[in-house]
Amino acid sequence: MKKITICVPMYNEEENLAVLYDKLDLLSKEYIGSYEFEFLFVNDGSMDQSLSIVKTLSKEDSRVKCVDLSRNFGKEIAMLAGFDYATGDAIIIMDADLQHPPSTIPKMIVEWEKGYQDVYGKRVTRHGESFFKKAFSKMYYKILTRFSSVPVIPAVGDFRLLDRKCIDSIKKIRETQRYTKGIYMWIGFKKKEITFEANERFAGETKWQFKSLVKLAIDGIISDSVVPLRLSLYSGVAIATFSFLYLIYTLITTLVHGSATPGYPTLTILLLFLSGTQLFFMGIIGEYIGKIFIEVKRRPPYLVQEFVTQEQTDKDDEI
């Protein structure tokens, strides 16, 4: 029998876990005899009761397992831990907050059976997200598709089913500065899009702060493209050409009309403009160097406190 791993990265999701588990359990009942399930939670340094809730669940249900990370590493890394520990023939990644409806899962399985290896969900509606977040995301995808060497599809996130082939491929990519959306595109394989209606977060607050969104946005562009570096070369050439033409123009007007008016404003503007551009591109180079710095340290992407399974919990109880 084929096994499907449902992987849920979680960070302070205590209010959602029981409902999520019930829905997943109900779903799995429809597949008794056809698929085996594994519910793999990745506890990304939660400070609430999330871990103990999952531990309790795993005592009653041997399908429930949990990778407990040593601290909060962020969702991108938590998902990598999920890929590492998943034992299924396919993995389905979903959020703990029920924004990804479990009712979409059967559709994904159908496509997987047809031979597709990466069945990804595309949001058709985004209930309960601020106007600001929607506008930001729209603008961002426009910029990202310009820069990236592999196209990233708007409104497609981590809610997807991946075949074992894809899982093994992603596991080989050990970057700590991860942009998983770019990685899905980079690995290739047979892809299929299905749509889903994103719900509102069931309980609790979104874990994303503006700061982490900006970081993810920058990572998206930087981790997959050297175009921004080239941009600095082009702009440098453009600005230098412009200054040279301006120089000739000033020379000629001075020769024809005599000394020009004192050029303080022009000078100031040019100076500010140039130092601004230089700082901007130094910043871009800095971003890349920062990434190199972090990657050359070759640290493991995450550390694990414990791997919670039913047998493990039983053993702990005996002691």
Sites of contact with Mg ion (CB under 5 A): 95, 97, 99, 201
The tokens for 309 are 């399974």
Report in angstroms how near the CB of residue 20 gets to Mg ion at its nearest. 12
Distances (CA, A) of 96 to 10, 100, 275, 305: 6, 8, 46, 20
Report in angstroms how near the CB of residue 189 gets to ligand UDP at its nearest. 24
Report in angstroms how near the CB of residue 274 gets to ligand UDP at its nearest. 39
Among 14, 44, 118, 224, binds ligand UDP (CB under 6 A): 44
DSSP bridge partners of 122: 156, 195
- The C-alpha torsion from 20 through 22 and 26 to 27, rounded to 10°, is 10
CB–CB of 121/155 below 8 Å? no
Q: Which does 220 bind (CB under 5 to 8 A by kind): ligand UDP, Mg ion, none?
A: none
Report in angstroms how near the CB of residue 303 gets to ligand UDP at its nearest. 15
Among 5, 11, 192, 217, binds ligand UDP (CB under 6 A): 11
Among 207, 217, 221, 302, binds ligand UDP (CB under 6 A): 207
CB–CB of 248/242 below 8 Å? no
Number of residues that bind ligand UDP (CB under 6 A): 17
Report in angstroms how near the CB of residue 296 gets to ligand UDP at its nearest. 24
Residue 69, helix vs strand vs coil: strand
Q: Which part of the chain contacts ligand UDP (CB under 6 A), choosing from 106-114, 142-150, 204-212, 289-297?
A: 204-212
Sign for the pseudo-dihedral over CA of 123, 124, 129, 133: positive
Please state, as a whole number, how many other Cβ atoms lie within 10 Å of the Cβ of residue 128. Answer: 11
DSSP bridge partners of 160: 93, 120
**Footprint of ligand UDP (CB under 6 A):** 9-11, 13, 44, 72, 74-75, 78, 95-97, 99, 201, 206-208
